[in-house]
Chain A
Amino acid sequence: MSSDVAARASLAVSLAFHIVFAALGIGLPLMFCIAEGIGLRKRDATWYVLARRWSRAAGILFVVGAVSGTALSFEFGLLWSRFMGFASGVVGLMFTFEGVAFFVEAIFLGLYLYGWDRLSPRVHWLSSIPVVISGALASQFIVAVNAWMNTPTGFQVVNGTATNIDPFAAMFNPAAPAQALHMLIAAYQVTGFAVAAVYAVGMLRGRNDKYHQRGVLLGMILATVMIPAQAIVGSWIGEMIARQQPEKLAAIEGLFQTTAGAPLALFGWVDTSTQQVYFAITIPKLLSLLSFNNPDATVTGLDNFPQATWPGLAVVPIAHLAFDIMATLGGLFLLVPLVFWLFYFRRRRTVPTTRWLMWTLVVCGPLVFVALEAGWIAAELGRQPWIIYNIMRTSDGATTNGGVAVFFFVFLAIYIALAVATIGLLRRLAREQKTFVTSEKPPGSIE
């Protein structure tokens, strides 16, 4: 493996791993904040049991997210030293903001997770609020960095170095608001569906009690609230890419010729050598409509760009499929909650036990992570061959060190081990008695 391929593979593995924990680390605090808030107000133990269990799950997930995030902040230098040498001054302000937000999150999470025996009910609940806010903010700054790689602003290149740096202009780059909100909403959707799926499994096993009903209910509420938000932000991103990165849009959609009233090719295999999309479902004029809100608008095709800057033979079809998987699943995640509420209200406000509906929720659990990963893959591959769009090629950003291949395999092994252990622990947690246990003496734990 050459250094830059190994560097890509290593960071891909690290981020694919980290994004799952980061998304749940953003979403679960909102869940336990709401559950404990209701429990405190209504003096209801069931909500407290839910909050307590989500906090334990969040504790396990947050640790893995935090250590993999710490590893990432070293990996940027280890794997992408030339990118960091060029860019870190420009994007540093965003990372600084993120660092502060993450610090606040860690402090209050420490209070929350370990404070069940130390804090008053009110203070304990209040300590969850900074966790929710700072977790959400941290994601905004970190995604803004990724957005900057798509639409770099706030500097000029003189003799190969970034000069005249305006870190605020870099932070508010054109892609930042839409991309960052898209990620935040996705994190809440992921959490909502994942939590609902866990409790739907319990319902399918006949545990139709308040505890399981409320788990499904709160998960679905979160997923539902995010429907309009994600629909709006999703179309905002489409338009933004069409304007800012027409090449990325053309590659993701497999559009080779610049076309007025461009059709949308759903799924299929994009072949850059023959410039065809095989086995696709073609919907007339939809791409123009989605990109410019006008069915007859002209969408720029890959023919407008030199082949040397196309994302590459292997990358385009994967980016296309990944994008379509995300978009299709995204559509499913908008529909499923609506069906759920239809059943909920027809059954006079009780959580439905209809088996196929519960099974749908269970299946949505893993699918929501597929969508998360697919969206991220489409975004990253679509930007290729650039690490900073139109400024620096990915191969020029990688370290010149040898030994990156070893790095890749070592970290792959570590992350697999951590994933296995995390899943094992979460399954163990799910099997435990659903009673209120406090942090200092959880069963099976130390003492």
Chain B
Amino acid sequence: MSQSTLATLSALIVWVALIAYAVSGGADFGGGIWDLLARGPTARRERVAIAQAMGPVWESNNIWLIFVLVVTWTAFPIVYAGVSTALFIPITLAVIGIVLRGAAFSFRSNYGLEVGAGLAWGRVFNTASAVTPFLFGTMAGALVSGGIRFTGQPPEAQANPWTTWTTPFALSCGLFALGLCSVLSATYLAVDATNNGDQALVESFRRRAMIAGAVTAVVGAIAAALASVQAPVLWHGLIGRALPLSLAAVILGLATAAALLRNWLRVARVLVIVMAVCILAAWGVGQWPYLIVPDVTIDNAASPASVLGPMLIVVLIGLVLLLPALWYLLRIFKARPRARTPQTTVAAFVSTLEPTEETD
């Protein structure tokens, strides 16, 4: 395979992993956002439902991010090194968010939701969950806005450390990311609540999904309008090469809203995922062939074929191993109860054994 094909495939892998992270890990951030916004009589049950939904899956969802990083630095070293330099501040803040979000989620689950230390970690968890995707969104906006320039040999990134990611367009991307996470999450949570037979929660999350969806659509429209001024390369891509995907995203958004209105929650879950995939795919196709506008393209940033070839092979073999395992994990924890319950669980089996001596 030619160097250019390998580079394109590598970029494709990065993008696919990024999309996987957005629709899985993004929803976990969304869970934190809904935890932050939980109010009223069902607040406590909502928090419990969110924690139970995230518990078994959020760590493997988080690995998609590591996947994105590793493939990026292997296949496009100057992108990784350059972005780390140019966006030092938002990345550092996002890393703090990632560390605190994950650790605080686990600490809260272990301390107890409504006990002193658990409450404090709960606040850390939900705040970090809201801040982190916002920062990711601003970074995505910064990459296509033209504020990061590369000079010298080997190329080094130059950018204003503060303004690059705080343009109106970048900020609107941050808000859009936040909105997308909360829509995905509310939709998934509504289905989970159906599985658990909690009708009040189904209603609550369904309503939230619709409201968040409407807000996100407005933010998305503003972001698109700002893109036409501040990120013209992306804008022309979105209404040019990526137009079918852009239109599909809009139509799927409307279809998701309709499905939520009609209470077809499982359909809505599929639609919202496909919509998110279309949005991110449209973005990717839109900025093609740039990785960082305007100096870095897939071809001029790629590692040599001797690096890309083996990496792609390892990634593909890895995915063949991973995806069935991931599918099984999701089936066990996310499918309808009757599809997943074995005849005896470990817990039931252990309760039939001789009781152990009680000590304290």
Task: Tell me if A323 counts as interface (CB < 8 A to partner B).
Answer: no
Contact A106 B341 (CB under 8 A): no
Contact between B48 and A447, CB atoms less than 8 A apart: yes
Once bound together, how far apart are the Cα atoms of A158 and B319, in whole Å?
A: 34
> Is B1 in contact with chain A by the CB < 8 A criterion?
no
Which single member of A43, A85, A130, A401 contacts B154 (CB below 8 Å)?
A: A85
Query: Chain A's nearest CB lies how many Å from the CB of B357?
Result: 5
Q: Which residues from B are CB-within-8-Å of A207?
A: 359
Q: How far is the CB of A138 from chain B (nearest CB, A)?
A: 11
Contacts of B355 in A (CB 8 A): 45
Contacts of A99 in B (CB 8 A): 63, 66-67, 70-71, 318
User: Would you call B83 an interface residue if the criterion is a C-beta within 8 Å of the partner chain's C-beta atoms?
Assistant: yes
Measured CB to CB, the nearest residue on chain B to A154 is B306
B309's nearest neighbour on chain A, judged by CB, is A167
Q: Which residue of A lies closest to B57 (CB)?
A: A110
Q: Are B107 and A71 in contact (CB under 8 A)?
A: no
Q: What size tier do the contact residues of chain A reach?
A: 35 or more
Cβ–Cβ < 8 Å partners of B70 in chain A: 73, 92, 95-96, 98-99
Instruction: Judge whether B350 and A70 touch: CB under 8 Å.
Output: no
Interface of chain B residues 80 through 115 with chain A (CB within 8 A): 80-85, 88-89, 91-92, 94-96, 98-103, 105-107, 109-113, 115
Query: Given A107-B322, A115-B346, A118-B332, is A414 in contact with B99 using a C-beta cutoff of 8 Å?
Result: yes
Q: Mark B59-75, 1 if CB is under 8 A from A, else 0.
A: 11011011101110111
Residue of B91, B109, B315 contacting most chain A CB atoms (<10 Å): B109
- Chain A window 92-110, contacts with chain B (Cβ cutoff 8 Å), 1 for yes, 0 for no: 1101111110111011111
Q: A326 an interface residue at 8 Å Cβ cutoff?
A: no
Chief secondary structure at chain B's binding surface: helix
For the complex, is B2 an interface residue (Cβ under 8 Å from A)? no
In the bound complex, do residue B85 and residue A399 qualify as a contact, i.e. CB atoms below 8 Å apart?
yes
Residues of B within 8 A of A86 (CB): 77, 154
Determine how close the nearest CB of chain B comes to the CB of A352; give it in whole angstroms.
19
* B69–A100 CB distance below 8 A: no
Smallest CB-CB separation from B328: which chain A residue?
A111
Partner-contacting stretch, out of A58-66, A221-229, A363-371:
A58-66
Given A45-B356, A166-B306, A167-B310, verify A120-B326 contact (CB < 8 Å). no
A10 to chain B, nearest CB (A): 10
A117 interface residue (CB < 8 Å to B): yes
Does B151 count as interface, using CB distance less than 8 angstroms?
no
Q: Which one of B73, B304, B318 lies within 8 Å of A163 (CB-CB)?
A: B304
Residue of A nearest to B305 (CB): A165
Task: Using known A-B contacts A209-B357, A446-B51, determine if residue A74 contacts B91 with beta carbons closer than 8 Å.
Answer: yes
Of B66, B88, B110, the residue contacting A401 (CB under 8 A) is: B88
Chain A residue with the shortest CB-CB distance to B155: A85
How would residues 426 to 446 of chain A score, 1 for a CB under 8 Å from any chain B CB and 0 otherwise? 001100011110111010111
Which B residues are in CB contact (< 8 Å) with A82? 81
CB <8 Å contact, A121 and B59 = no
| Least distance between A314 CB and chain B CB atoms (Å) | 28
Residues 307 to 336 of chain B near chain A (Cβ within 8 Å): 307, 310-311, 314-315, 317-318, 321-322, 325-326, 328-329, 332-333
**Is A165 in contact with B346, judged by CB distance below 8 angstroms?**
no
Q: Is the CB of B356 within 8 A of A90?
A: no
**Per-residue A-contact encoding for B138-162, CB less than 8 Å = 1, 0 else:** 0000000000000001101000010
Partner of B56, one of A92, A114, A160: A114
Q: Is the beta-carbon distance between B103 and A418 smaller than 8 angstroms?
A: yes
The answer to whether A104 and B112 touch (CB under 8 A), given A45-B350, A111-B332, A123-B342, is: no
Whether A119 contacts B332 by the Cβ 8 Å rule is: yes
A residues adjacent to B (C-beta < 8 A): 39, 43-46, 48-49, 59-60, 62-64, 66-71, 73-78, 81-82, 84-86, 88-90, 92-93, 95-100, 102-104, 106-111, 113-121, 123-124, 130, 159-161, 163-168, 207, 209-212, 399-401, 403, 407, 410-411, 414, 418, 421, 424-425, 428-429, 433-436, 438-440, 442, 444-447
Name B residues whose Cβ lies closer than 8 Å to a Cβ of A.
Answer: 47-48, 51-52, 55-57, 59-60, 62-63, 65-67, 69-71, 73-75, 77-78, 80-85, 88-89, 91-92, 94-96, 98-103, 105-107, 109-113, 115, 117, 121, 153-154, 156, 161, 303-304, 306-307, 310-311, 314-315, 317-318, 321-322, 325-326, 328-329, 332-333, 340-347, 349-351, 353-360
5 pairs of A and B residues whose beta carbons are closest in the complex: A92-B74, A77-B84, A100-B318, A85-B81, A114-B56
Q: Can you report 26 residue pairs joining A to B where beta carbons are below 8 Å apart?
A: A62-B59, A67-B103, A71-B95, A85-B80, A85-B154, A89-B303, A102-B63, A103-B63, A110-B59, A113-B56, A118-B333, A119-B342, A121-B345, A166-B306, A167-B307, A210-B357, A212-B359, A399-B85, A399-B88, A410-B92, A414-B99, A424-B117, A425-B111, A434-B358, A436-B351, A444-B112
